[in-house]
């Protein structure tokens, strides 16, 4: 490939004014073309030596004085001969120099990603490392930079290899038994357990895709809640500047606002939204519709509750977020001391008011809650009640706080059916519900709701920490392997093939097992690039910018 490929050229730096601008050539004619612009450079320059040279036009008139760098293939980024002209960073000057390199028809402009593509095709880097190059260029948070840098150093490559190599060995063993049953006798004995172990490894990598996505594109967090709760004030505090309008008139925020912050290296896009209420004006209603739409697409929704919100109302607002994980916070805590939370009331009445079609926006009057005290199973504290009502994850109804309607039926019979969505990130609650299974240890109290005041700043740092741990859990975002959707897809296909191989090892012939292992290997080859199709490679490198 090296000798046959045409020589390519592109601007390697951004096409705006900068201190230095680099024109990069790769291919067999790189040195010849480079020396036309820099005739003072010797015909056989020392590789990797920086020559100070005049760059000249077709008539020998000096256009710039810059550095000339030669890398002799294969010891270069692309594996081909590479020349760099490091000029002053004037956009017009660089265009003149670029046009000069094209003049004799010895070089053509590079397509997006073509330098890195050649590095891949010439075996300098594998596909996951090439993708890490693109991730690094696109990274806009410290964690994204660090995770991509780890990928460039081969972190993901290593883990894929740790999967691919034992799988290849297994395949060889199975084929050995199939083709030379006498010599290779017994080599397939532990095939099932080997397949199982490798599948677990593949699943572990797949599980990191969610974190990879969070690091790569940042987390999305929306403030929401009733009008006038103090959402915009809190948003401004978290962003660190007065971005959103604040006023004591309910319905101040109409359109969603967004701001980008970086917390502990994790990129976070924060949204402020129009407050929710039942009878808004026309424009405000549009804003509320937008709030709902936005809530469905964020990683975490922060429900800001004004002082003295009843548990029932809080639950009703929470339902506005649908399946998106919700963190409730008690807002305006500077005044909340004077207005303690409305006493806990029965969960029973809350459920009564839930129409099947959705969620009433008007809080119910307190008079409806009076049955609470009479209910023998009523949760004792608002926290317990909340644990019961927060979105079900496991489908297990807590034994000691069974919620029933008047007919005595459990009110959440279908929880497990719609609960799957919540398992992803509703991290703080599932264990408490799980432990409510009979015989399990008693339910630990859920963590208290963060109390914040956007006005005084009280509790805002603590809220940020809670948000981060809800988004991320323990560990550091920069330590994650950047498993992309593409990687996860290939890994999923590998895992499925391994799962079929496992059942086949009990039920079917060795040919079938070996065939499935081969399919898994093929899928893994798409990660490293050893079995990537031309179309896949095209798709990957087209995402790169020109000159990369
Ligand atoms: N000026 C400049 N800076 C740059 C690049 C470049 O192309 N030009 N890079 C472009 O993305 C990155 C550096 N990546 C590079 C990777 C490999 C080789 C290289 O010459 N590799 C040889 C020799 C290795 C060695 O001596 O250790 C090889 O792999 O055989 C060069 C740059 C970032 N900075
Ligand atoms: N005491 C106190 N007042 C607050 C606090 N946060 C906001 N306020 C006041 O409450 C009123 C509403 O604040 P906003 O931040 O505009 O409330 P919002 O939830 O964005 O309201 P909408 O956009 O209308 O839904 C303003 O008068 C704020 O000054 C707080 O933490 N403590
Ligand atoms: Mg607002």
- Domain ranges in the chain? 8-125, 127-335+448-528
3-state secondary structure at position 68: strand
Average pLDDT over residues 59-84: 97
Q: Which residues surround ligand 3, an ion (CB under 5 A)?
A: 231-232, 252-253
**300-305/219-224 β-pairing:** parallel
Our answer on whether the CB atom of 101 is closer than 6 Å to any ligand 2 atom is: no
Q: Is the pLDDT of residue 428 over 60?
A: no
Cα 207–323–336 angle (5° rounding)? 115
Ligand 1 pocket test: pick from 19, 20, 77, 137 the residue with the most ligand atoms within 8 Å of its Cβ: 77
Residue bearing tokens 């919620």: 403
The residue length of the chain stands at 548
Among 57, 15, 187, which Cα is nearest to 545's?
15
Q: Is the CB of residue 463 less than 8 Å from the CB of residue 452?
A: yes
pLDDT in tens, 4-30: 689 999 999 999 999 999 999 999 999
Ligand 3 centroid vs 453 CA: distance in angstroms?
14
CB of 246 closer than 6 angstroms to any ligand 2 atom: yes
Question: Which sign, positive or negative, has the C-alpha torsion 505, 508, 509, 513?
Answer: negative
CATH number for the domain formed by residue range(s) 8-125: 3.30.1360.120
Examine the pLDDT at 426 and tell me if it is beyond 60: no
Q: What residues contact residue 86 under an 8 Å CB cut-off, 6+ apart?
A: 20, 21, 22, 66, 67, 68, 69
453-473 pLDDT, tens per residue? 999 999 999 999 999 999 987
Q: Is 460 in the pocket of ligand 2 (CB under 6 A)?
A: no
Q: Which residues pair with 271 in a beta bridge?
A: 222, 258
DSSP conformational letter for 87: E
Peptide bond into 110 cis (omega under 30): no
Pairing mode, strands 107-109 and 62-71: unpaired
311-330 tens-digit pLDDT: 999 999 999 999 999 999 99
Q: What does DSSP say about strands 257-263 and 219-224: parallel, antiparallel, or unpaired?
A: unpaired
Beta-carbon-side half-sphere exposure of residue 414 (alpha carbons within 13 Å): 3
The rounded distance, in Å, linking the Cα atoms of 466 and 67 is 51
* ipTM (interface pTM): 0.88
Residues with CB under 6 A from ligand 1: 22, 71, 74-77, 84, 124
Predicted confidence (pLDDT) at residue 364 exceeds the cutoff of 70? no
Mean pLDDT of the chain: 81
Lowest mean pLDDT among 297-306, 426-435, 449-458: 426-435
Q: Are strands 18-26 and 82-89 parallel, antiparallel or unpaired?
A: antiparallel
Q: Express as a percent the part of the chain with pLDDT over 90.
A: 61
pLDDT of residue 345: 44
Contact between 230 and 304 (Cβ < 8 Å) = yes
Kind of pairing between the strands at 18-26 and 107-109 = unpaired
Ligand with minimal distance to 304 CA: 2
Residue 36 region by backbone torsions, left for phi larger than 0, else alpha for psi between -120 and 50, else beta? alpha
Task: Name the residue among 446, 478, 233 with its Cα closest to residue 333.
Answer: 233
Indicate the fold that domain 127-335+448-528 takes in CATH. Answer: Rossmann fold (3.40.50)
Q: Is the pLDDT of residue 433 over 90?
A: no
Q: What is the pLDDT of residues 94-141, one digit of tens each?
A: 999 999 999 999 999 999 999 999 999 999 999 999 999 999 999 999
CA dihedral of residues 334, 338, 339, 343 (deg, nearest 10):
120
Report how far residue 138's alpha carbon sits from residue 122's, in angstroms, rounded to the nearest whole number. Answer: 24
**Residue ranges for the binding site for (6S)-5-formyl-5,6,7,8-tetrahydrofolate?**
24, 84, 124, 548
Answer whether residue 53 shows pLDDT above 90.
Answer: yes
- Binding-site residues for GTP, in ranges, read 228-233, 247-253, 272-275
Report the alpha-carbon angle 226-227-228, nearest 5.
115
Domains 8-125 and 127-335+448-528 share a fold: no
Q: Both tokens of residue 226? A: 């009733």
């Amino acid at each position: 490939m090296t000798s046959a490929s045409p020589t390519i050229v592109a601007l390697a730096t951004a096409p705006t004014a900068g201190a230095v601008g680099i024109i990069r050539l790769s291919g067999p004619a790189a040195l010849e073309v480079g020396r036309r612009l820099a005739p003072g450079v010797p015909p056989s320059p020392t590789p990797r030596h920086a020559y100070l040279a005049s760059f000249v036009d077709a008539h020998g008139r000096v256009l710039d004085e810059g550095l000339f760098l030669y890398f002799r293939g294969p010891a270069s980024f692309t594996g081909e001969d590479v020349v760099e002209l490091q000029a002053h960073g004037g956009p017009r000057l660089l265009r003149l120099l670029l046009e000069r390199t094209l003049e004799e028809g010895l070089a053509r402009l590079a397509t997006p990603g073509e330098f890195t593509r050649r590095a891949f095709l010439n075996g300098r880097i594998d596909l996951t490392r090439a993708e890490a190059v693109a991730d690094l260029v696109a990274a806009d948070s410290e964690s994204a930079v660090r995770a991509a840098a780890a990928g460039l150093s081969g972190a993901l490559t290593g883990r894929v290899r740790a999967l691919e190599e034992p799988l290849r060995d297994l395949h060889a063993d199975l084929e050995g038994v199939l083709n030379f049953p006498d010599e290779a006798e017994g080599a397939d004995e532990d095939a099932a357990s080997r397949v199982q172990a490798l599948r677990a490894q593949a699943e572990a990598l797949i599980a990191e895709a969610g974190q990879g996505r969070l690091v790569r594109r940042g987390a999305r967090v929306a403030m929401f809640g009733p009008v006038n709760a103090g959402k915009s004030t809190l948003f401004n505090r978290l962003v660190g500047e007065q971005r959103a309008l604040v006023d004591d008139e309910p319905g101040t925020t109409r359109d969603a606002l967004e701001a980008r912050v970086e917390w502990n290296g994790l990129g976070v896009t924060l949204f402020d939204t129009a407050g929710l209420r039942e009878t808004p004006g026309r424009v405000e209603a549009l804003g509320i519709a937008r709030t709902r739409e936005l809530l469905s697409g964020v990683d975490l929704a922060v429900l800001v509750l004004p002082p003295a919100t009843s548990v029932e109302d809080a639950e009703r607002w929470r339902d506005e977020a649908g399946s998106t994980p919700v963190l409730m916070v008690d807002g305006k805590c500077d005044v909340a001391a004077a207005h303690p939370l409305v006493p806990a009331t029965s969960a029973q009445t809350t459920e009564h008011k839930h129409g099947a079609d959705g969620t009433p926006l008007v809080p119910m009057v307190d008079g409806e809650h009076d049955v609470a005290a009479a209910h023998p199973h009523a949760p004792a504290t608002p926290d317990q009640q909340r644990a019961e009502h927060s979105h079900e994850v496991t489908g297990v109804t807590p034994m000691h706080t069974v919620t029933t309607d008047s007919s005595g039926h459990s009110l959440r019979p279908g929880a497990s059916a719609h609960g799957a969505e919540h398992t992803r990130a509703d991290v703080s609650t599932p264990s408490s519900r799980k432990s409510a299974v009979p015989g399990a240890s008693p339910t630990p109290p859920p963590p208290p709701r963060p109390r914040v005041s956007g006005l005084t700043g009280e509790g805002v740092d603590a809220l940020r920490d809670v948000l981060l741990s809800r988004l991320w859990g323990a560990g550091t975002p920069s330590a994650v392997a950047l498993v992309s959707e593409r990687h996860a897809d290939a890994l999923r296909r590998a895992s499925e093939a391994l799962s079929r191989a496992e059942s086949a090892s009990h039920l079917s012939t060795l040919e079938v097992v070996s065939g499935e292992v081969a399919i898994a290997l093929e899928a893994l080859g798409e990660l490293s690039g050893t079995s990537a199709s031309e179309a896949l490679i095209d798709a990957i490198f087209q995402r790169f910018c020109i000159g990369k």
